Structure 1
Amino acid sequence: MIDRRFVRTALIGLCAFLTSGCWDQVPIEERGFVIGVAIDFPRSSAAEETAEKEAPDRPEGRWRFLVTHQFVVPGGLVSGSQQRGVQGSANEAFLNLASEGDSLLEISSELATRSSRFPFYQHLKVLIISEEVAKANHAFADALDFFLRDPELRRSSKVMIAKGDARPVLEISPINEKLPAMYINAVAENIQKNARILPEIWLGECHENLMNEHSFVLPRITSNEKEVKVAGAAVFNGKSNRMVGFLGEEETEGLNFLTDRVKGGMLKAVLDRELVTFNIESASRKIKADTRHKERMRFVYTITCEGVIDETFKPMNYLSKDALKTLQDHLAKEIERMARDTIRKVHKQMKTDVLGLGTYLKQEHPHLWKQLKHDWDYGRNYFASSEIDVKATVYIRNVGEINTTETRSRNEVR
């Protein structure tokens, strides 16, 4: 026979289980959804900061940050029209709040004194760091620490480096979007349309690079009042975790070819002073190395690219094998030129391996890598003393719907 006290206790426990709720549950209407964050150094206290940094008793790595949070204003998303010029107006879909402090947690807590909704970072799309913060000693890693430790935040948030200050990037007013952070997030994903866009780098990848002391790159972003431009790259040295400089747009395209990250885009070739444009459909690269002498190792990149002719101003018969071979060679030389410009910048000037050669040695020559990994692109810097070359091959798979173009002289066009 079942004990009545046992049944009573079981029923009470079951009722408590069914009626209990999460102890930390927050109603969705009370959440302050943050979709974008920009991190700068405060401009108003620059002189004070300089004095503090030079003080002998200042703790190493301590910085004061100016952080801008972009909150979603749900009412603005459903409004028929969006008022411009006054952030936080009745029809605005976002609200930017900026605050400064010695730590990101302090800044996040300070926002509770100014906003009815406490910051909630689970839907953070973009984290934008200023050029100045990225170059300062320890500041970049310190700025990321809060976001890496927050259990609510997804590690798939995109990280970018602003040319100049980061705050103005979140203050743009894009014409075709209501949320600047969502607009920036979408632009950064257009890597299949333009090879000068660096593939997105997530917060989790940044953490991995910081922990492993791997040199790495992050997308560069610039802005004006109406729009942003995501092109170029910021180069970080893996030992110091500081930014050492920017790569331009063509140099970034060359880097994408060298690191096997080209997803699409276009190439231009000039043949007899006439322009031909080539749409990239696929690209790959291989590395061969001569490692017999670690003081002067030699690496050769072999890049293969395939695509179609999308536009041309050069009158010629595109079914001719000789004509296609000439055009393919010109396109290949263009890839080699961009790649060599990139190699010259990161190899000779920055002396920082963001070309993937350290990873290649670790995978293909593990015993050698153990000998030189602590002196690869710092210390003795075997990377800087190596030789690097590149060879490219282009295959035109299609010339479009027409095979020949109009024959004309330049004088006739003019």
Structure 2
Amino acid sequence: MNKRLLPYGTVALAASLLLTGCWDQVQIEERGFVVGVAVDAPRNKLAHQQAHKEAPNKPDGQSRFLVTTQLVIPGGMIAAGQSNGGGGGGQNTANEAFLNITSEGDSLFEVSRELATRTSRTPFYQHLKVIVISDEIARSKYGFANAIDFSLRDPDSRRSTKVFISKGEAKKVIEVKPKTEKLPALYIDSIGDNISKNARMLPVVRLGDVHEQLLKDFSFALPRITAEKSEVKMAGAAIINPDNHLIGFLGEEETEGLNFLTGEIRGGILKARVGSDLVVLNIQGAKRSIKADVRDRQHIKFTINIQCEGAVVESFYPMDLLNGKSISKLQSAFAKEIVRMSNDTITKVHKDMPADVLRLGRHLKQYHHSLWKQISHDWEKGQKLYEKCEIAVNAEVFIRNVGGINKTEHSLGR
């Protein structure tokens, strides 16, 4: 009799184990899909000071946050042909595809829980596309690391979320009203993938990459983003030092130089002047190598060699592009332009605001490890050997294609 009951008991036990998987389920229509988060400093400094009075044990330098969360409105996504837009502070109009809710708190987790008092849907972060942190927060002591901590710890957050530093309010970035997308966060996310078209954009940095950088004792760079009316501009770079706070920005051309120096060029254009005329190269590939002379650890000498290849896409200079001397002249002009931009970048990150975003310390760690173990604590801190090192740049350019014509319009009649 017991043997007959055994199969039924086994089935009942298996069913009970399977049923336990549903204890915490949330129906999809009850979820509030978060696609963007913007982190700013509080708009009311008096309230910020009052919060510190109410919490006297709060560590000095710990920031209070003003967080704007962008949630998807499914009905607005479905409504074809309806105009898109956004609202701040929880305001929304019919047929919009998203809702921006702004809340203030001592931590991002507190803010995420405070959303429960203002929206009927449970915030769900597995579809988070972008995190934008304002330069004011990133410059404050512990501000950047604290602003990113919740996303790193939250198991619902994806490591592929893109991270940006805004010049100005981060809130304004995810409140733009793009003409081509219904969701500002998806619009920003898509722009970040255009690095193959413009060398002045820093390659996207994802949440997982930021975590790795925060655990290392190196400076690093993040993409800079700014809001401009109904659009954003993603160009330039924000420099984060080993203490994990923002120390300054690189301009667009300096960022292009940085991409050449770090081997992060994915495409874009390179302009050079031959005489007084402009010639434009479409970059089809680039790489860099580093050689280090470490005989004097107090004055290490680095040589960065850059190789770039591409196709001529515009030329206002009268020349025959099938002529070997003409090609050599062009290649030399482009190479000089790369060296000029690279040296401008080196001046900025080696002298003006020293930060090893050139990854020279990483090179020493990989190829001169015994030396690195001795000097690592004095590279960007202590004796600051990075500032004492010497950096030289060489560049070569190879023109692989001259386009559909071999002579410019100006030279046809000559």
For normalisation by structure 2, the TM-score amounts to 0.94
Equivalent of 2:134 in 109, 130, 136: 130
**Deviations 1:119-173 (Å, cap 9, x if unpaired)?**
1100100000000010000011111111111011111100000001100001000
Please state if 1:197 is matched with 2:197. Answer: no
SS of residue paired to 1:277: strand
Alignment match, 2:256? 253
- Percent same amino acid among aligned pairs? 54
Equivalent of 1:180 in 181, 184, 193: 184
Shift in Å at residue 11 of structure 1? Answer: 3.3
Output aligned runs, 1:227-242, within 5 Å: 227-238=231-242, 240-242=243-245
Answer yes or no: is the 8 Å Cα contact 1:83–1:89 preserved in 2. no
Output aligned runs, 1:84-163, within 5 Å: 87=87, 88-163=92-167
Alignment match, 2:28? 28
Answer yes or no: is the 8 Å Cα contact 2:48–2:64 preserved in 1. no
- Whole-Å Cα distance in 1 between the matches of residues 366 and 18 of structure 2? 54
Answer yes or no: is the 8 Å Cα contact 1:82–1:178 preserved in 2. no
Shift in Å at residue 19 of structure 1? Answer: 5.1
Answer yes or no: is the 8 Å Cα contact 1:264–1:279 preserved in 2. yes
Shift in Å at residue 179 of structure 1? Answer: 0.5
SS of residue paired to 1:212: coil
Alignment match, 1:314? 317
Shift in Å at residue 14 of structure 1? Answer: 3.7
State the number of aligned residues.
408
Shift in Å at residue 256 of structure 1? Answer: 0.4
- Whole-Å Cα distance in 2 between the matches of residues 92 and 243 of structure 1? 35
- Whole-Å Cα distance in 2 between the matches of residues 391 and 18 of structure 1? 64
Answer yes or no: is the 8 Å Cα contact 1:303–1:392 preserved in 2. yes
Shift in Å at residue 118 of structure 1? Answer: 1.6
**Deviations 1:35-64 (Å, cap 9, x if unpaired)?**
0000001112357439949x9864234221
- Whole-Å Cα distance in 1 between the matches of residues 400 and 11 of structure 2? 73
**Deviations 1:258-300 (Å, cap 9, x if unpaired)?**
0010010000111121111000000010111111001111101
User: Residues 222 and 152 from structure 1, CA distance in 2 versus in 1: closer, same or farther, beyond 3 angstroms?
Assistant: same
Please state if 1:294 is matched with 2:284. Answer: no
Shift in Å at residue 363 of structure 1? Answer: 0.7
SS of residue paired to 1:235: strand
Answer yes or no: is the 8 Å Cα contact 2:220–2:241 preserved in 1. yes
Answer yes or no: is the 8 Å Cα contact 1:81–1:91 preserved in 2. no
Alignment match, 2:396? 393
User: Residues 50 and 309 from structure 1, CA distance in 2 versus in 1: closer, same or farther, beyond 3 angstroms?
Assistant: farther
Answer yes or no: is the 8 Å Cα contact 1:77–1:93 preserved in 2. yes
Equivalent of 2:217 in 210, 213, 216: 213
Answer yes or no: is the 8 Å Cα contact 1:140–1:241 preserved in 2. yes
Answer yes or no: is the 8 Å Cα contact 2:85–2:182 preserved in 1. no
Answer yes or no: is the 8 Å Cα contact 2:37–2:67 preserved in 1. yes
- Whole-Å Cα distance in 1 between the matches of residues 137 and 120 of structure 2? 30
Shift in Å at residue 312 of structure 1? Answer: 1.0
- Whole-Å Cα distance in 2 between the matches of residues 329 and 267 of structure 1? 13
SS of residue paired to 1:26: coil
- Whole-Å Cα distance in 1 between the matches of residues 7 and 320 of structure 2? 91
Please state if 1:44 is matched with 2:44. Answer: yes
Output aligned runs, 1:318-357, within 5 Å: 318-357=321-360
Answer yes or no: is the 8 Å Cα contact 1:188–1:230 preserved in 2. yes
SS of residue paired to 1:208: helix
Letter in 1 for 2:33: F
User: Residues 18 and 371 from structure 1, CA distance in 2 versus in 1: closer, same or farther, beyond 3 angstroms?
Assistant: closer
For normalisation by structure 1, the TM-score amounts to 0.94
* Structure 1: runs of 5+ lacking an equivalent: none
- Whole-Å Cα distance in 2 between the matches of residues 209 and 168 of structure 1? 27
User: Residues 27 and 375 from structure 1, CA distance in 2 versus in 1: closer, same or farther, beyond 3 angstroms?
Assistant: same
Output aligned runs, 1:250-289, within 5 Å: 250-289=253-292
Shift in Å at residue 9 of structure 1? Answer: 1.8
